[in-house]
Structure 1
Amino acid sequence: MVGAEPAGMCRIAPMTSSDLWDEQTAQGYDRTSAEMFAPHVLAPTVEFLAQLAGAGRPALEFAIGTGRVAIPLSAKGISVSGIELSQPMVDQLRRKVPLVEDLPVVVGDMATATIPGRFSLVYVVYNSIGNLRTQDEQVECFRNAARHLTPGGRFVIELWVPGIRRFPPGQTAVPFEVTDRHVGFDTYDMVTQQGTSHHYRRSDDGSASYGCSNFRYIWPAECDLMAKLAGLVLERRVADWDGSPFTSDSEKHVSVWRKPAT
């Protein structure tokens, strides 16, 4: 599952393969992703990133969204900037942090957009790198991170491990959540590594809505190769923000690559 789903049918943004989060989706993002704002989820994420950035040093978030991670990270004394494809998502962030100088954001895609300065930490969370739906764009995202890093700085991604091991022969979909309020499942094309997250939600009045988001899944080893092409070196891989070991049974990973000091 890659982030939140667009409210209606999937839309592709100009000049990039990514879906574009529209006004309706942006307005409902914090509500539909409420579980990711829970303290037990957010606190370990922020603490992990704050320790990597270092006190008083700048950090850059790709796909910053409505500021779920950036705002509490800023509260820890980290100077955070962002890159975000969707202007409506940035508009929602500005409702929380009105002053641009407090949290600068450039509107653009994370594979090519740049922002002034160099950073001790660049990060992209909640599977958002998968929103780039071509391998070339994903490689460029790693290179873009490296361009923004100071020597010795780190690039961090949070990414799920594709769940295709759960597929019996002939099956193309796997559920990731089934409740009385939300049914979500992913469909995969294992030839192209393309996928779609499908979301069916029931409202209080009994009506149902459908939304979807497209992604390209990446294996951890493929991430390491992309990092190598960008001149980055794997420093650490764990199963979650709490630092638990990454194993063959892990369903996600948090990986840290370092830009060599020389």
Structure 2
Amino acid sequence: MREADGYFGEDVAATYDASTAERFQPEVVDPAVDVLAGLAGGGRALEFGVGTGRIALPLARRGVPVQGIDMSRAMASRLAAKPGGDAIDVRIGDFAGTRVPGSFAVVYLVFNTINNLTTQEAQVACFRNAAAHLAPGGCFVVEVGVPELRRLPPGQDAVPFHIGASQWGFDTYDVATQAMSSHHVTVTDGRAQHRSIPFRYVWPAELDLMAQLAGLRLRDRWEDWSRAPFTSESEQHVSVWERPGS
């Protein structure tokens, strides 16, 4: 299924919601939906990497017409099967270049999904694709972590992000190429299974340059969806770039 669905085939889609259950909690989802609904106003929203609808479904329930792009048919089928999922039109394809008809008040990309594009060229293309979908005055919103390179002592290239009784997770970094991989180890009945997903980490300033190349300008940058100030100690950011126009 990897050729058709990338790294998010049926084996991942079947357990995705359960494995990321903390991301579906109202205290996580509601602030993001509040920001996106406010930016959408009375217009339409487009989600890059819509997945199983964690954000798209509650945003649609707020009265915002939502469409999505996703490479994974397996993930999209999970979205379609949920209540309200049939109202969200999903185009299957790479969000770096896949187009959908019409223009949108807001295009958004959450939960580090920009890093699924593993080259700088593809990330630049993503910004240009977002800009091409935006109406004048519309916004492109990205939620992504700040690379944790300060946690790497000399000679180390791995940072753990989860340690449990039967699951471990760690990221590996190549600082020369900005390539990284997330590794997930799961132990079931005494047998370990390893899954690895490649990413490309990206800095806030680099994203700003990508936005500039796409004709967008930075409007806001916060630490999180609560609009807390972004500082040098922030571990993630929510950035909003605007297409000039009234």
Give SS of 2:183's match: strand
- Is the CA contact 2:57–2:84 (under 8 Å) kept in the aligned structure 1? no
Residue 206 of structure 1 and its aligned partner are, at CA, apart by: 4.9
- Give the whole-Å Cα distance in 1 for the aligned partners of 2:7 and 2:82: 21
In the alignment, does 2:193 pair up with 1:209?
Answer: yes
| Aligned pairs for 1:1-262 within 5 A | 11=2, 13=3, 19-54=6-41, 56-97=42-83, 100=86, 102-203=87-188, 205-261=189-245
Deviations 1:92-151, CA, capped at 9 Å, x for gaps: 111115764x11110000111011110000000000010000100000000000000000
Instruction: Tell me which amino acid in the other structure corresponds to 2:38.
Output: Q
Give SS of 1:260's match: coil
- Is the CA contact 1:97–1:103 (under 8 Å) kept in the aligned structure 2? no
CA RMSD in angstroms comes to 1.7
| TM-score (norm. length: structure 2) | 0.95
Flag structure 1 segments of 5+ consecutive residues without an equivalent: 1-5
Flag structure 2 segments of 5+ consecutive residues without an equivalent: none
Residue 207 of structure 1 and its aligned partner are, at CA, apart by: 4.3
Residue 241 of structure 1 and its aligned partner are, at CA, apart by: 0.6
Residue 202 of structure 1 and its aligned partner are, at CA, apart by: 3.6
Deviates more, 1:88-97 or 1:71-80: 88-97
- Give the whole-Å Cα distance in 1 for the aligned partners of 2:141 and 2:177: 25
Residue 210 of structure 1 and its aligned partner are, at CA, apart by: 2.0
Residue 40 of structure 1 and its aligned partner are, at CA, apart by: 1.1
Instruction: Tell me which amino acid in the other structure corresponds to 1:233.
Output: R
| TM-score (norm. length: structure 1) | 0.90
- Is the CA contact 2:6–2:72 (under 8 Å) kept in the aligned structure 1? no
Instruction: Tell me which amino acid in the other structure corresponds to 1:25.
Output: V
